[in-house]
Amino acid sequence: MSLTRMPAMYLPHGGGPSFFMTGERKSRYQDTENFLRGIHNILPATPKAILIVTAHWETHIPTFTGGAAPSLIYDYYGFPPETYEIQYPAPGQPEVAKRAAELLQQAGYPVQVDDDYGWDHGVFIPLKVMFPEANVPVVAMSIHPSLDPVLHCKLGQALSSLRDEGVLVIGSGMSFHNLRNFAQGGPASEQFHAWLDLALSGNQTERTERLMHWSTAPGGAESHPREEHLIPLMVASGAGSDAPGRRMWAGMVGPTHLGGWIFE
Distance CA 160, CA 44 (A): 17
Per-residue buried b or exposed e for 171-198, using 16+ beta carbons within 10 Å of the residue's own CB: bbbbbbbbeeebeebbebbbbbbebbbe
Q: Alpha-carbon torsion 17, 22, 23, 29, what sign?
A: positive
What pLDDT shows up at residue 40?
94
Say if residue 181's pLDDT is above 80.
no
What separation in angstroms does the CA of 190 have from each of 36, 174, 197, 198, 206? 21, 14, 11, 13, 22
- pLDDT band at residue 3 using 50, 70 and 90 as cut-offs: confident
Euclidean distance between CA atoms 239 and 169, whole angstroms: 8
Model confidence over 216-260: pLDDT tens digits?
999 999 999 999 999 999 999 999 999 999 999 999 998 999 999
Give the per-residue pLDDT at 179.
79
Angle between helices 186-199 and 204-211 in degrees, nearest 10: 150
**Integer angstrom CA distances of residue 121 from 16, 77, 143, 191, 245:** 7, 11, 15, 28, 26
Q: What is the pLDDT of residue 2?
A: 57
| Selected residue with higher pLDDT from 179 and 60 | 60
Q: pLDDT of 24-76, one tens digit each?
A: 999 999 999 999 999 999 999 999 999 999 999 999 999 999 999 999 999 99
Mean of the per-residue pLDDT values of the chain? 96
| pLDDT the model gives residue 51 | 99
Q: How many helices (H) and strands (E) does the chain have?
A: 9, 8
In the predicted structure, residue 193 carries a pLDDT above the cut 50:
yes
Q: How far is CA 199 from the centre of its chain?
A: 18
Taking the whole predicted model, whether its pTM rises above 0.85 is answered as yes
Sequence-distant (6+) residues with CB within 8 A of 206 are: none
Q: Are 176 and 219 spatial neighbours (Cβ–Cβ below 8 Å)? A: no
pLDDT digits (tens, 9 = 90+) for 127-172: 999 999 999 999 999 999 999 999 999 999 999 999 999 999 999 9
